[in-house]
Amino acid sequence: MDHPPAQPTSPQSASTQAATAHVEVHHHTPPQGFIWKYVFSLDHKVIGKQYYFLSLIAVFTGMVLSWLMRVHLAWPTFAIPLLDKLSPNGAPGGVITPEYYLSLMTLHGTIMVFFVLTTAPQAGFGNYILPIQIGAEDMAFPRLNMLSFWVTFVAFCILVSSLFVKDGPPISGWTAYAPLSALGTAGGPGLGLGQELWAFSIATFCIGSLLGALNFIATTLDLRARGMSLMRMPLTVWAWLVTAVLSLLSFAVLLTACVLLILDHVGGTSFFIPGGLVVSDQLQPHSGGSPLLWQHLFWFFGHPEVYIAILPGLGVIANILACTARKPFLGYKVFAYCVMGIGFLSFLVWGHHMFLSGMSPYSALTFSVPTLIITMPAAIVSLLMVCTLYGAKIRFTSFGLFAIGFISVFITGGMSGFFLAQPSIDTQLHASYFVVGHFHMVMGVAAIFGMFAGTYFWFPKMFGRMMNETLGKVHFWLTFIGVYCIFMPMHYIGLAANIRRYSAFVDDYLIPMIPVHKFITVAALLTGAAQLIFLYNLLWSMFRGARAPANPWGATQLEWSVPSPPPFDNFGGKHPVVYHDAYEYGVQGSTGDYVMQDSPEKIVSS
């Protein structure tokens, strides 16, 4: 673990510095004017914040949609005030119609998966923190970076516009299975223009993500400071790097799928529609296509996508845990290899979403094997996180609480994966609330905890101010208890065969489960209200929080070596040199029980 420290550098002339730099970087001068500073900024820090705030708007939009859904499920005839103004057709008299429920569900899933989970952890925090953590001035391609944000923003606007279309927003779920999503208005309300806008929005999002992925990979491989070897990078950078590779490979496939879907709508093609379909009493003018083709294309993207959603969170939490525990992360190299292993395996498992889809049952077994194998690196990283806490000196700050909470919810979410990975069990649990509980636990809770922890941790650096610790802790306790109350019951009723994506529970065997849904709804509304504490804390602290020092948490990574917030070029014209691993905690350092990565001091094991 100890490396012989490099000699402290003596001041060098600018030309020598340039000659010894890894790569020629295009130095940009500080921008002038509001538009170039805050709107079309090329600064990765501004762009990171733009992504972060886009995600914040998206997550609250997605949450409101989920409240509407949950209220309808618990009290189907309840007239929701003002909803009939937003959609007279969707909610006549404020009562949500079956198709409007499905629209709310489709937008909820799409917004949360794409504009929250694929955006904030990677493009939000990654953009802001990664260049500083590796000692770079900015991303490798600042203009591409700016473009990727605005493309993503346009995608969000297109998606939201589908709410205001006359025929309604799409109703086919975030998974948009064909032929429901491909037949156009013949299939029912929301499937014409609404579905087309969905496909355009997602295709646009794909382009933004591809641009971002290129940037992350190039930056991480080429712009690391001197001494920042791959194995000295904070685990966050490993996670962002692997996530970017996953994005690059999988979003290209989704983009293709969306283009084909749009063509089926407007180009008279039949990629996903077989012949002989009778919808609304009419024989449909399509033939030759395959609904399973959409599923293969979608899930080839869709499975890596869920790892894109969680890997940054894993990296962030591992990074934060070391700081919280005041000791090095256990098994740094193992963690890095596991993240790479999970990334690789994620491309081999997509068929586990399709066990019962009508594809060959032999394929089902073939997909089941790597799906079970992927539990192993996931179990290893979970246990590494648990065991990092062994022999620690845990500080229970807000970010610390969320980091430890992450471990708990990630383990819970992972456990239900063992069931769903087996086709023989999937025959009973497929399309049930067991699945809904599983993916919400890993994505809707664990990944979000990653973002909460990241926010509490990096807020001082990003905004130069401190958040309120008491409010942070209250937010944590209410949220942690709340999410278990919402999502654990879903596993139980899922086992009892409560089917998902139903806008109402009218079947005989489902009626007895309605009280559980009422409980879940109340828990969801209360937990949702608790998020307002976070929002208030965030917005208030941005303007009124106490001024933040450079390193309020005693953390070791490079971003804590620069002021809060950092100057526009991160290091004030200096080129940092890295001497140590990323997690030198629990040692006698000159500044405390830690030694920063760029500190030339030798490490004395305490």
Task: Specify the residue, 432 or 599, whose C-beta has the smaller distance to other proteins.
Answer: 432
Which residue reads 């209250």 in tokens? 474
506 binds other proteins (CB under 8 A): yes
Of the residues 220, 432, 468, 541, which one makes contact with other proteins according to CB under 8 A: 432
* Distance, CA of 460 to CA of 552 (rounded, Å): 8
Stretch of residues binding other proteins (CB under 8 A), selected from 123-131, 211-219, 257-265, 409-417: 409-417
474 binds other proteins (CB under 8 A): no
Give strand pairing partners of 226: 577
171 binds other proteins (CB under 8 A): yes
Q: Which of 300, 291, 122 is nearest to 212 (CA)?
A: 122
Task: Specify the residue, 346 or 503, whose C-beta has the smaller distance to other proteins.
Answer: 503
Q: Which of 523, 520, 410, 532 is nearest to 474 (CA)?
A: 532
Scan residues 54-83 and list those touching other proteins (CB under 8 A).
76-77
- Eight-class DSSP state of 75: S
Residue 294 CB neighbours (<10 A)? 25
330 binds other proteins (CB under 8 A): yes
Of the residues 165, 252, 334, 466, which one makes contact with other proteins according to CB under 8 A: 334
**Type of residue numbered 263:** L
CB of 58 closer than 8 Å to CB of 155? no
383 binds other proteins (CB under 8 A): yes
323 binds other proteins (CB under 8 A): no
Task: Specify the residue, 34 or 362, whose C-beta has the smaller distance to other proteins.
Answer: 362
* Distance, CA of 188 to CA of 279 (rounded, Å): 9
Scan residues 257-316 and list those touching other proteins (CB under 8 A).
273-283, 289-292
Of the residues 36, 75, 153, 177, which one makes contact with other proteins according to CB under 8 A: 177
H helix intervals, 447-552: 448-463, 469-495, 514-544
325 binds other proteins (CB under 8 A): yes
Stretch of residues binding other proteins (CB under 8 A), selected from 53-61, 151-159, 454-462, 499-507: 499-507
In the shown chain, the binding pattern of residues 83 to 122 toward other proteins, with x for contact by CB under 8 A and - for none, equals: ------x--xx-xxxxxx-x--------------------
Q: CB of 90: closest distance to other proteins in angstroms?
A: 9
Stretch of residues binding other proteins (CB under 8 A), selected from 50-58, 225-233, 417-425, 528-536: 417-425
* Distance, CA of 55 to CA of 14 (rounded, Å): 40
529 binds other proteins (CB under 8 A): no
H helix intervals, 326-360: 332-345
Between strands 278-279 and 592-594, the pairing is unpaired
Between strands 282-283 and 278-279, the pairing is antiparallel
Task: Specify the residue, 35 or 369, whose C-beta has the smaller distance to other proteins.
Answer: 369
Between strands 585-589 and 592-594, the pairing is antiparallel
* Distance, CA of 297 to CA of 323 (rounded, Å): 41
415 binds other proteins (CB under 8 A): yes
Cα maximum dimension of the chain: 82
468 binds other proteins (CB under 8 A): no
